[in-house]
């Protein structure tokens, strides 16, 4: 553009304008155009004095105005640049604000997230604390229950110990008493039975004899008494006759002595006299003999009387002995009753059928008592261990409670921290709002920029200060966040420790539960007995055959019994039923049942023992031995053994042996016919042969030669 | 679910169940245990424990308690489903095994023919899992399976 007026001299914008152009004091002077020519002169008033200026003034003013304009433009430029810088700063501030807002939002989010996490952690902590409390309460309850059970078990153990001791003492006393009583009762019984039988027989015999003798003697005595009386009478008569004869004899002798001897007198009369006298003498001699005989009879009678008295004494003795017999019979009955009572006691004792079983039963009871004592000792040791573990669990529980209280406090502190952070957030959001308002005000003031340089400066200063504050708050927030993170990390670590402790406690609880279950199972074992069926699937043919044979025998005996019972039933009503046979039959049946049960038990125990032995041999020697009874075509029974290593890779890797009447021979099969195995077999056979030869030689050298 | 056709096993189970039912009716049976053992080493690998609580009043006084068969069968079916699902956590049995049945009875029970006293065949340090129980109002049966700790589970 070509300027109509010369360009103004280049002066310094500020000073020239200030000093050389007093007019240009940066005030715009209003310029009014001159009055227009068309306007009649007469009608126009003369122009005011204040606004009259020449072209030069106008130019000067214009120049000054232009200068002012330029300066203003420069100022505007400057302000614009300042505004731009402020804008850029604003942009930067806005960017920073946005960043801060984003940061704030991020921080808010993080805060919310941390709050959420803390809340979740709190809830989790609270849950875990509640769970742990519940678990500890349960544990405490279980511990209390276990303690109660422990006490009960201890009491039961004590009572069982005391009862076992008392039972043991009683058992020993009873055993001794039983033995003594049984022996004495047996002896007494035998003796008494013998005596009884003997006495009975004797008494019967003696009684019968005595009665017969008594009768005889009585009759004899009566007869003899009658005879004696008769004889006495006869004696008297004879004595009288004797006396008379003696008198007559003496008289005759006197007569004879006085009378001379007539040799030639009548000899016939003498002969008759002598005959008569001889006859009388003979009669008298016969009478004397009769008297002597009577006397002997009398003596015999007296002897018989004495014998009678003796027999009476014996009879009284026999009656006394009979009464004693009755007493002995009563004693025997009492002893039999006692024996029956002891037998009934024996029957009450399980697994005891006779006196011989009592010591075994007592030995078994003693073993059971010892085993129960051992179990009681073990249980008491376990109880002590449980008590120790209970104490440890209580200590750990207290520790965990303390830790849970600490964790609660920490949670409360973290909640307080969260609240504080929230308050800080609120303050930060308020500041943010304030800053937003300031920014809005800035934007508003931007339009009226020319008059508000100071305000911009103040605004900038405020913005800077707010920025600094916000940075400070952001730093504080970051430090708080860092602290919170550290706190959270510490809480995480504590939570991990607590979780580890909880898992440890859970494992301890499981172990305690297992111990409790094991103790309960042991208690159940003590209170109950464990039975299992022996009739396993692998029943040997032999046992089957024996079972079948026994069953057939049973059926036969049962058929026989039925036949006997039918015969009994078919017999007449007047026939005497043999009670002993039925009793014997019942006894035999019971014995058969007992024996059968014993046999089955023995078989089962034997089969189990054999299987245990086989397994032990297999595990110890590393070889499995299978025994099988077979029969050759010629009917000879043969036992076959199969030897297989436990490390055999197939079923074919086995050696077969045949045992017959003390000789063992190896059988040929695919495995033994392999060259390596056959070589080893040959070597083994050779070694065996050498050993047997050496043994034979040793024995032959050892035997003395006669 | 498989059922055996082996006559020997069937006869074994039949005689077993007849004796168990006799004891149950008398109220003398306390628990039934199924034991699974290794055939080679006789080591107990699994132990299925069925604990039985009998109502003494029913046994002694003959008091009758009624519960529908449908409900009892439903409870038993639930237990059988649980037993079938136990395969998920029970260790695998990789060797030939044998089974045996133990009966826990009162001390005063006479040992019947073909039965003998035995040990409890317990597992050392077992893992135990308790299953559901069922109740017939006369007998209450609790089920528990204990098995040998697998090496992997211990690790």
Give the nearest chain B residue to A594 (CA atoms): B113
Give the nearest chain B residue to A539 (CA atoms): B8
Distance from CA of A580 to the nearest CA of B (A): 30
Per the listing, tokens 């920029």 go with A449
Candidates B100, B103, B153, partner chain A, best to mutate (most A CBs within 10 A): B103
Does residue A262 lie within any of the structural domains?
Answer: no
Q: Residues of A663-685 as b/e, b for ≥16 C-beta within 10 angstroms? A: eeebeeeebbeeeeeeeebeeee
Measured CA distances, A118 to A236, A412, A479, A497 (Å): 157, 10, 18, 18
Q: How many helices (H) and strands (E) does chain A have?
A: 8, 5
Check residue A184 and give its pLDDT: 78
What are the backbone dihedrals phi and psi of residue A303, each rounded to the nearest 5 degrees, phi first? -60, -45
Give DSSP secondary structure letters for A22-80: SSTTT-PPP-PPPPPTTS-TTTSPPPPSTT---HHHHHHHHHHHHHHHHHHHHHHHHHH
**Chain B residues 63-102 within an 8 A CB cutoff of chain A:** 100-102
Cα separation, A81 vs A89, whole angstroms: 11
Check residue A590 and give its pLDDT: 82
B116 and A532 within 8 Å at the Cβ level: the answer is yes
B102 and A524 within 8 Å at the Cβ level: the answer is no
- Cα dihedral angle (A4, A5, A9, A11), rounded to 10 degrees? -90
| CB of A672 closer than 8 Å to CB of A681 | yes
Q: Which residue did the predictor score with more confidence, A339 or A447?
A: A339
Number of other CB atoms surrounding residue A598 within 10 Å: 10
Of the candidates A299, A276, A273, A283, the one whose C-alpha atom is nearest the C-alpha of residue A237 is A283
Does residue A56 lie within any of the structural domains?
Answer: no
Check residue A452 and give its pLDDT: 52
Cα separation, A500 vs A506, whole angstroms: 9
Strands B29-38 and B44-54, by their bridges, are antiparallel
Give the nearest chain B residue to A522 (CA atoms): B120
Cα separation, A125 vs A487, whole angstroms: 14
Measured CA distances, A165 to A149, A204, A357, A634 (Å): 23, 54, 21, 65
Structure tokens at A155: 């009491």
Number of other CB atoms surrounding residue A317 within 10 Å: 11
Give the nearest chain A residue to B110 (CA atoms): A350
Distance from CA of B139 to the nearest CA of A (A): 18
Give the nearest chain A residue to B28 (CA atoms): A528
- pLDDT tier for residue A121 given thresholds of 50, 70 and 90: confident
Distance from CA of A135 to the nearest CA of B (A): 18
pLDDT at A570 over 70: no
Q: Which residue did the predictor score with more confidence, A653 or A510?
A: A653
**Chain A residues 373-432 within an 8 A CB cutoff of chain B:** none
Query: Does the beta carbon of B117 lie under 8 angstroms from any beta carbon of chain A?
Result: yes
Of the candidates A525, A553, A547, the one whose C-alpha atom is nearest the C-alpha of residue A534 is A547
Cα separation, B80 vs A626, whole angstroms: 40
Give the nearest chain A residue to B35 (CA atoms): A532
Q: How many residues does chain A have?
A: 706
From B8, B100, B128, residue closest to A532, measured CB to CB: B100
Return the number of CB contacts < 8 Å for A and B: 77
A533 and B109 within 8 Å at the Cβ level: the answer is no
A615 and B42 within 8 Å at the Cβ level: the answer is yes
Give DSSP secondary structure letters for A128-192: HHHHHHHHHHHHHHHHHHHHHHHHHHHHHHHHHHHHHHHHHHHHHHHHHHHHHHHHHHHHHHHHH
Cα separation, A521 vs A525, whole angstroms: 6
Give the nearest chain A residue to B30 (CA atoms): A528
In three-state secondary structure terms, A493 is: helix
A531 and B113 within 8 Å at the Cβ level: the answer is no
A532 and B102 within 8 Å at the Cβ level: the answer is yes
Give DSSP secondary structure letters for A350-407: TT--STTHHHHHHHHHHHHHHHHHHHHHHHHHHHHHHHHHHHHHHHHHHHHHHHHHHH
Query: Does the beta carbon of B118 lie under 8 angstroms from any beta carbon of chain A?
Result: yes
Check residue A9 and give its pLDDT: 53
- Please give the helix or strand (H or E) that residue B123 lies within, else none: none
In three-state secondary structure terms, B61 is: helix
Taking the CA of residue A506 as centre, how many other CA atoms within 13 Å lie in the half-sphere pointing to its CB?
9
B103 and A597 within 8 Å at the Cβ level: the answer is no
Q: What is the pLDDT of residues A370-425, one digit of tens each?
A: 777 777 777 777 777 777 776 777 777 677 667 767 766 776 777 677 677 768 76
pLDDT at A139 over 70: yes
Instruction: Name the average pLDDT for chain A.
Output: 73
Distance from CA of B118 to the nearest CA of A (A): 5
From A528, A531, A600, residue closest to B118, measured CB to CB: A531
B122 and A518 within 8 Å at the Cβ level: the answer is yes
Chain B contacts of A648, Cβ < 8 Å?
none
Does residue A70 lie within any of the structural domains?
Answer: no
pLDDT at A446 over 70: no
Query: Does the beta carbon of A611 lie under 8 angstroms from any beta carbon of chain B?
Result: no
**Average pLDDT estimate for A678-687:** 71
Q: A10-24, A468-482, A634-648: which has the highest mean pLDDT?
A: A634-648
What residue numbers bound the domain in which A658 lies? Answer: 533-700
Number of domains in chain A: 1
From A529, A533, A537, residue closest to B105, measured CB to CB: A529
Calculate what percentage of chain A has a pLDDT beyond 70: 73
Structure tokens at A548: 């079948």
Of the candidates B136, B108, B105, B117, the one whose C-alpha atom is nearest the C-alpha of residue B28 is B105
In three-state secondary structure terms, A625 is: strand
Distance from CA of B114 to the nearest CA of A (A): 5
A73 φ/ψ sector (left φ>0, alpha ψ -120 to 50, else beta): alpha
Query: Does the beta carbon of A521 lie under 8 angstroms from any beta carbon of chain B?
Result: yes
Sign of CA dihedral A393, A399, A400, A402: positive
Q: A35-44, A453-462, A535-544, A553-562: which has the highest mean pLDDT?
A: A553-562
Locate the DSSP E strands across chain B: 29-38, 44-54, 97-106, 115-117, 126-135, 139-148
Q: What is the pLDDT of residues A581-619, one digit of tens each?
A: 667 678 777 877 887 887 888 788 888 888 888 888 888
Of the candidates A58, A342, A325, A30, the one whose C-alpha atom is nearest the C-alpha of residue A185 is A342
A532 and B19 within 8 Å at the Cβ level: the answer is no
pLDDT at A576 over 60: no
Chain A contacts of B100, Cβ < 8 Å?
532
Query: Does the beta carbon of A536 lie under 8 angstroms from any beta carbon of chain B?
Result: yes
Poorest-pLDDT segment among A287-296, A471-480, B14-23: A471-480
Does residue A297 lie within any of the structural domains?
Answer: no
Distance from CA of A611 to the nearest CA of B (A): 11
pLDDT at B141 over 90: yes
What are the backbone dihedrals phi and psi of residue B117, each rounded to the nearest 5 degrees, phi first? -75, 150
Q: Which residue did the predictor score with more confidence, A256 or A59?
A: A59
Check residue A419 and give its pLDDT: 74
Check residue A7 and give its pLDDT: 52
Distance from CA of A614 to the nearest CA of B (A): 11
∠A115-A117-A121 over CA atoms, to 5°? 115
Q: Say if residue B83 is exposed, middle or buried (CB neighbours under 10 Å; 0-12, 13-18, 19+).
A: middle
Does residue A582 lie within any of the structural domains?
Answer: yes
Does residue A587 lie within any of the structural domains?
Answer: yes
Please list the residues that pair with B32 across neighbouring strands.
Answer: B50, B103
Chain B contacts of A517, Cβ < 8 Å?
128
Sign of CA dihedral A233, A236, A240, A246: positive
A531 and B16 within 8 Å at the Cβ level: the answer is no
pLDDT at A217 over 50: yes
Query: Does the beta carbon of A524 lie under 8 angstroms from any beta carbon of chain B?
Result: yes
Does residue A631 lie within any of the structural domains?
Answer: yes
Candidates B115, B121, B128, B146, partner chain A, best to mutate (most A CBs within 10 A): B115
Cα separation, A266 vs A252, whole angstroms: 17
Per the listing, tokens 């921290």 go with A417
| CB of A67 closer than 8 Å to CB of A61 | no
Cα separation, B114 vs B16, whole angstroms: 10
Chain B contacts of A509, Cβ < 8 Å?
none
Cα separation, A96 vs A76, whole angstroms: 27
Poorest-pLDDT segment among A48-57, A565-574, A656-665: A565-574
Check residue A37 and give its pLDDT: 45
Whether this prediction's pTM lies above 0.80 is answered by no
Cα separation, A680 vs A687, whole angstroms: 10
DSSP character at residue B87: G
3-state SS, one letter per residue, for A131-148: HHHHHHHHHHHHHHHHHH
Distance from CA of A511 to the nearest CA of B (A): 8
**Chain A residues 489-518 within an 8 A CB cutoff of chain B:** 513-514, 517-518
Of the candidates B153, B142, B152, the one whose C-alpha atom is nearest the C-alpha of residue B48 is B142
Structure tokens at A273: 């006299």
Distance from CA of B104 to the nearest CA of A (A): 5
Check residue B99 and give its pLDDT: 93
Candidates A530, A600, A607, A614, partner chain B, best to mutate (most B CBs within 10 A): A530
Chain A contacts of B8, Cβ < 8 Å?
537, 539
Does residue A650 lie within any of the structural domains?
Answer: yes
Chain A contacts of B42, Cβ < 8 Å?
615
Chain A contacts of B107, Cβ < 8 Å?
527-529
- pLDDT tier for residue B34 given thresholds of 50, 70 and 90: very high
What are the backbone dihedrals phi and psi of residue B121, each rounded to the nearest 5 degrees, phi first? 50, 60
Query: Does the beta carbon of A620 lie under 8 angstroms from any beta carbon of chain B?
Result: no
DSSP character at residue A539: -
**Average pLDDT estimate for A425-437:** 75
Measured CA distances, A257 to A57, A273, A276 (Å): 264, 16, 19
Q: What is the pLDDT of residues A162-211, one digit of tens each?
A: 877 887 787 788 778 777 877 877 787 777 777 777 777 777 777 777 77
**Average pLDDT estimate for A318-341:** 80
B106 and A528 within 8 Å at the Cβ level: the answer is yes
Cα separation, A480 vs A420, whole angstroms: 10
∠A466-A468-A471 over CA atoms, to 5°? 110
Distance from CA of A475 to the nearest CA of B (A): 48
């Amino acid at each position: 553009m070509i300027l109509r007026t010369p360009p103004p001299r280049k002066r310094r914008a500020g000073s020239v304008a200030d000093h050389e152009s007093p007019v240009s004091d940066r005030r715009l002077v209003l310029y009014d155009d001159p009055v227009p020519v068309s306007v009649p002169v007469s009608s126009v008033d003369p122009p005011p004095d204040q606004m009259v200026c020449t072209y030069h003034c106008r130019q000067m003013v214009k120049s000054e105005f232009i200068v002012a304009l330029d300066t203003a433009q420069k100022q505007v430029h400057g302000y614009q640049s300042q505004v731009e810088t402020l804008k850029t700063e604003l942009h930067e501030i806005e960017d920073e604000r946005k960043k801060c807002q984003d940061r704030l939002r991020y921080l808010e989010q993080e805060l919310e997230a941390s709050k959420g996490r803390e809340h979740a952690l709190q809830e989790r902590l609270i849950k875990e604390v509640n769970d742990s409390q519940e678990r500890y309460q349960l544990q405490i309850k279980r511990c209390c229950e276990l303690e109660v059970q422990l006490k009960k078990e201890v009491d039961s153990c004590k009572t069982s110990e005391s009862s076992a001791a008392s039972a043991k003492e009683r058992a020993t006393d009873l055993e001794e008493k039983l033995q003594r009583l049984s022996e004495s009762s047996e002896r007494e019984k035998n003796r008494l039975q013998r005596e009884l039988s003997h006495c009975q027989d004797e008494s019967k015999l003696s009684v019968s004899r005595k009665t017969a003798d008594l009768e005889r003697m009585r009759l004899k005595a009566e007869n003899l008494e009658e005879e004696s009386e008769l004889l006495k009478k006869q004696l008297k008569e004879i004595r009288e006759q004797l006396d008379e004869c003696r008198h007559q004899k003496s008289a005759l002798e006197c007569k004879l002595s006085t009378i001379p001897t007539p040799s030639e007198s009548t000899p016939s009369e003498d002969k008759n006299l002598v005959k008569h006298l001889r006859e009388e003498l003979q009669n008298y001699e016969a009478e004397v003999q009769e008297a002597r005989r009577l006397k002997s009879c009398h003596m015999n009678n007296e002897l018989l009387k004495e014998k009678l008295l003796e027999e009476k004494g014996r009879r009284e003795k026999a009656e006394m002995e009979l009464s004693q017999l009755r007493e002995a019979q009563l004693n025997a009955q009492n002893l039999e009753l006692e024996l029956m009572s002891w037998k009934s006691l024996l029957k009450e004792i399980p697994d005891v059928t006779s006196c011989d079983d009592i010591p075994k039963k007592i030995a078994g009871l003693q073993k059971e008592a010892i085993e129960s004592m051992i179990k009681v000792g073990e249980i008491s040791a376990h109880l002590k261990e449980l008590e120790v573990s209970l104490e440890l669990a209580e200590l750990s529980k207290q520790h965990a409670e303390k830790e849970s209280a600490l964790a609660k406090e920490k949670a409360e502190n973290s909640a307080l921290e969260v609240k504080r952070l929230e308050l800080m957030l609120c303050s930060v959001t308020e500041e943010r709002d304030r800053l937003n308002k300031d920014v809005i005000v800035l934007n508003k003031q931007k339009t009226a920029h020319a008059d508000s340089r100071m305000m911009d400066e103040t605004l900038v200063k405020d913005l800077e200060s707010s920025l600094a504050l916000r940075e400070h708050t952001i730093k504080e927030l970051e430090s708080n966040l860092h602290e919170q993170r550290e706190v959270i990390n510490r809480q995480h670590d504590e939570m991990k420790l607590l979780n580890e402790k909880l898992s440890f406690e859970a494992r301890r609880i499981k172990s305690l539960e297992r111990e409790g279950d094991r103790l309960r199972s042991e208690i159940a074992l003590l209170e109950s007995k464990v039975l299992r069926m022996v009739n396993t699937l692998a029943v040997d043919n032999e046992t089957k055959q024996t079972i079948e044979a026994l069953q057939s025998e049973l059926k036969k005996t049962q058929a026989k019994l039925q036949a006997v019972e039918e015969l009994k039933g078919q017999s007449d009503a007047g026939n005497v039923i043999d009670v002993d046979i039925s009793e014997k039959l019942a006894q035999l049946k019971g014995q058969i049942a007992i024996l059968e049960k014993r046999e089955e038990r023995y078989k089962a125990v034997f089969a189990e023992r054999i299987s245990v032995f086989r397994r032990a041999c297999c595990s110890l020697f590393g070889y499995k031995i299978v025994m099988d009874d077979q029969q050759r075509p010629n009917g000879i029974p043969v036992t076959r053994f199969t030897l297989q290593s436990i490390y055999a890779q197939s079923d074919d890797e086995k050696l077969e042996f045949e045992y017959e009447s003390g000789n063992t021979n190896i059988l040929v099969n695919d495995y033994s016919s392999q060259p390596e195995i056959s070589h080893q077999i040959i070597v083994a056979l050779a070694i065996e042969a050498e050993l047997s030869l050496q043994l034979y030689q040793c024995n032959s050298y050892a035997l003395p030669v006669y | 679910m498989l059922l055996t056709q082996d006559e020997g096993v069937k006869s074994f189970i039949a005689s077993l169940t007849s004796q168990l039912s006799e004891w149950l009716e008398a109220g003398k049976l306390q628990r039934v245990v199924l034991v699974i053992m290794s055939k080679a080493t006789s080591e107990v690998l699994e132990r299925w424990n069925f604990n039985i609580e009998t109502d003494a009043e029913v046994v002694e006084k003959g008091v009758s308690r009624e519960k529908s068969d449908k409900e009892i069968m439903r409870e038993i079916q639930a237990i059988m489903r649980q037993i079938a699902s136990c395969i998920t956590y029970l260790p695998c049995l990789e060797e030939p095994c044998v089974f045996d049945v133990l009966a826990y009875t009162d001390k005063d029970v006479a040992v019947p023919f073909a039965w003998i006293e035995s040990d409890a065949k317990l597992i050392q340090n077992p893992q135990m899992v308790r299953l559901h129980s069922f109740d017939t109002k006369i007998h209450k049966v609790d089920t528990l399976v204990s098995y040998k700790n697998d090496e992997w589970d211990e690790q």
